[in-house]
Amino acid sequence: MPQANITMKVRKTSDSTCIVDIIGEINAFAENALMDAYTQASSAGAKNIVLNFTGLEYMNSSGIGLLVTLLIRTNRQKQRLVAFGLTEHYQQIFELTRLNEAITIFPSEAEALKTVG
Amino acid sequence: MGNLDQEVSEKRRSEDAWAPPTSRMKVSSAPVEAMNLNVEGRQPVSPLQGFGQMWQKTFKIRLSGVDMTPEEVMRIWKENFPRFQPPENRFYPPMSGIKPGEVVLIEGKVPPLPGMPNILPVATGVMILYADAEMFTVMCPEGHPLSGWNTFSAYEEDGVVVAQVQEQSRASDPLYEFFNRYLGSSAQQDEIWTHVLTSLGAHLGVKGEVVMTKVLIDPKVQWSAAKNIWQNAAIRTVLYMPVALKRSLFRRSSASPEEEISG
């Protein structure tokens, strides 16, 4: 089975917010890394999870499926999931898959943090 | 090839694997015999826009003894995609094949009640959201029984190629959810993917067992999506049947005697 080619780093920016830096590829094999990062952020008490896509190298349709699953988990825990750092191409993919209707996309980390706190 | 060239090439490959940006589905070509209903102009829908509980179902078959790469298996799968469907499902892929952005028209038949034969027609379709050498994903339009997507993939596991179908979806509206929960539509859908994988295995000379896992991602229904019922493809197909019958009779009556004799 192909190996996951992804690294996730969780940064706590306030009592209620964590940023997850995504570096590498999001595909079916990134599930454990993504869910581990989410668990780490939740354990730190995050009510806002901010996904940083500036280090994203590649994402396929399985990766979009993982983001949907993550979104449902955050919704069930009454957490907010937002994103920044998406290239124009992946912003279009968010629109095509209508993920942008549920995950707010910001142009930068500063603007994301300004909104979610 | 230099690193930069390789990076540019890989980026282009991945971007080309996605359907071009669109908010409405467009049927580029449809065979005359296809009803071509409930797809043109419809918005693609993810699991987020559906009504029912959200499920992730994974179906796998290990293709033991098949001396092929995942890419080769996927090429065969794409080329024979309609043939691997059960007989009650008719798939009309585009002439260009499984390509991102194209639409595959579907005509299925479902039982009106459990235990009854498949007589109720449903005309719908799916858009190819993503396609690369090892996988492709189709996304449903508004009105389709499911809101969401199915991913067909092949990969290697412990030296054996595995073919997989993964469905991530909700029932689109309350009627479909009722059918799924109480009238066996969900089980019928499971049988379709089992049939597809069994057919693929048989085509490759393998009699393997299909293993299914189901995960309930979201147990809640989304009442805000109950209005989706206005787009219900099954209801609209039944309402369209008199028109389809009239057209079919018109085609027959306008055909020349020679065509009727030879046809």
Q: What is the pLDDT of residues A41-67, one digit of tens each?
A: 999 999 999 999 999 999 999 999 999
pTM for this one?
0.89
Q: What is the rounded CA–CA span in Å between residue B212 and residue B189? A: 12
Residue-range definition of the domain harbouring residue B104: 35-219
CATH number of the domain at B138, please.
3.30.530.20
- Give me the residue label for tokens 């092949």: B154
3-class SS at B87?
Answer: coil
Closest CB from B47, B49, B130 relative to A60: B130
Residue B246's pLDDT is 78
C-beta separation of A100 from B186 below 8 A: no
Q: What is the rounded CA–CA span in Å between residue A89 and residue B46? A: 18
ipTM over 0.85: yes
**CB atoms near residue B46 (< 10 Å):** 24
Closest CB from B15, B157, B217 relative to A69: B217
Of all residues in chain A, the percent with pLDDT exceeding 70 is 98
Q: How far is CA B138 from the centre of its chain?
A: 6
Of all residues in chain B, the percent with pLDDT exceeding 70 is 90
Residue B175 in any domain: the answer is: yes
Superfamily per CATH, domain A6-116: STAS domain (3.30.750.24)
Question: Cβ–Cβ of A2/B155 closer than 8 Å?
Answer: yes
Give domain limits for chain A.
6-116
What is the number of domains present in chain B? 1
Residue B32's pLDDT is 80
**pLDDT at position B262 over 50:** no
Residue B124's pLDDT is 94
B189-222 residue pLDDT tens: 999 999 999 999 999 999 999 999 999 999 999 9
**pLDDT at position B263 over 90:** no
Residue B121's pLDDT is 85
Question: Cβ–Cβ of B156/A1 closer than 8 Å?
Answer: yes
